């Protein structure tokens, strides 16, 4: 009998694919062979331990004692498989229950339930529900559901509902509902979740964008409620002066656009005449049309 090889966790992605293909080939050969240490049994015969038992009808094991296990299998050694189900085109292992768990897996240091798939369009793990939850993951202190992909989408959500979102994030203790972050490949520094934020987007690299909103025909960004920008503030022109320089606390690039409007009466009808940005000092200067007679505040807004 040909052994079906296992897949050690430390194998590379390419090695895993080759290993899975080899396992599929070995499984087909294992299913097809009928010679060697095979026990051909008629219906009602006894199963023989250590042999490949072949029958023409289903074999059932029933334990009628309440809360007891019907079948227990145990294997020793790294990479050993305690219970294996193989099907050439159907389901390898199927679990059904009325009120409990159809399939349950537990692990102390490894993976409770692991699924692998090698062909495009197939699923390593799939969950379907008529009206409940298709796949649920929970954890007391760790990650409830984690998705990783070397070159594809790690986690994808889609629906056709007219009332429900495709992906929902809900933090019920005041943390961020959804956090999205873009970093370099080797950047692992942690960023704390901000309090009372629905969506938090971070990209601290040059040219990065924490959140990008796009709409070709509608509004790219709409805010219902008050809006605050860190690139806005209040400046002040001193009495008798005709200008004021502002340090916004961020980079001021050559292409910066600065808006400014007086917030008080200058006493002589002066207005904002022009604004000069200085990328060398990361500042900009607001020039009035003339020297103001009294101290005058102005509001400014810096855009790139």
Are 3 and 134 within one domain? Answer: yes
User: 298 and 261 in contact (C-beta within 8 Å)?
Assistant: yes
Are 221 and 279 within one domain? Answer: no
User: 254 and 260 in contact (C-beta within 8 Å)?
Assistant: no
Are 134 and 187 within one domain? Answer: no
Token pair of 33, please? 């062979």
Are 178 and 273 within one domain? Answer: no
Are 68 and 14 within one domain? Answer: yes
Are 204 and 239 within one domain? Answer: no
Spatial distance between the Cα atoms of 292 and 4, rounded to a whole number of angstroms: 88
Judge whether 158 lies within some domain. no
Number of structural domains in the chain: 3
Judge whether 163 lies within some domain. no
Half-sphere exposure of 161 (CA within 13 A, CB side): 9
Are 254 and 222 within one domain? Answer: no
Residue pLDDT tens, the chain, 304 long:
444 444 433 334 444 445 445 545 544 454 444 444 677 767 778 888 888 888 888 888 888 998 888 888 888 888 888 888 888 888 888 888 888 888 888 888 888 888 888 888 888 888 888 888 888 888 888 888 888 888 888 889 999 999 999 999 999 999 999 999 999 888 888 899 999 999 999 999 888 999 999 999 999 999 999 999 999 999 999 999 999 999 999 999 999 999 999 999 999 999 999 999 999 999 999 999 999 999 999 999 999 8
Judge whether 165 lies within some domain. no
Judge whether 184 lies within some domain. yes
DSSP, res 17 = H
Are 92 and 205 within one domain? Answer: no
- Parent domain of 238: 232-303
Are 210 and 297 within one domain? Answer: no
Are 132 and 1 within one domain? Answer: yes
Instruction: Indicate the residue among 139, 157, 179 that finishes a domain.
Output: 139
Are 39 and 64 within one domain? Answer: yes
Look at residues 75, 86, 79, 69 and name the one whose alpha carbon lies nearest to residue 31. 86
């Amino acid at each position: 009998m040909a052994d079906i090889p296992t897949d050690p966790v430390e194998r590379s992605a390419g090695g895993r694919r080759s290993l899975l293909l080899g396992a599929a080939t070995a499984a087909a050969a294992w299913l097809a062979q009928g010679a060697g240490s095979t026990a051909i049994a008629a219906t009602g015969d006894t199963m023989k331990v250590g042999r490949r038992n072949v029958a023409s009808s289903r074999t059932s094991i029933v334990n009628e004692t309440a809360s007891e296990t019907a079948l227990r299998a145990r294997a020793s050694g790294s990479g050993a498989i305690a219970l294996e189900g193989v099907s050439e085109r159907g389901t390898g292992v199927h679990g059904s229950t009325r009120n409990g768990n159809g399939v349950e897996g537990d692990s102390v240091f490894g993976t409770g339930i692991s699924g692998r798939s090698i062909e495009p369009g197939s699923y390593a793990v799939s969950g379907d529900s008529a009206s409940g939850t298709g796949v649920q993951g929970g954890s007391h202190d760790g990650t409830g559901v984690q998705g990783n992909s070397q070159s594809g989408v790690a986690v994808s959500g889609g629906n056709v509902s007219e009332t429900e979102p495709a992906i929902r994030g809900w933090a019920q203790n005041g943390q961020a509902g959804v956090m999205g972050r873009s970093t370099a490949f080797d950047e692992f520094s942690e960023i704390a979740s901000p309090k009372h934020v629905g969506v938090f987007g971070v990209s601290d690299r040059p040219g990065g964008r924490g959140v990008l909103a796009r709409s070709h025909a509608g509004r790219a960004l709409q805010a219902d409620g008050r809006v605050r920008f860190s690139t806005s503030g209040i400046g002040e022109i001193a009495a008798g002066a005709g200008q004021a320089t502002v340090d916004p606390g961020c980079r001021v690039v050559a292409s910066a656009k600065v808006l400014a409007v007086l917030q008080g009466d200058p006493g002589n009808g002066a207005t904002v005449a022009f604004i000069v940005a200085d990328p060398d000092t990361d500042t900009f200067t607001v020039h009035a049309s003339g020297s103001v007679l009294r101290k005058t505040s102005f509001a400014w807004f810096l855009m790139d």
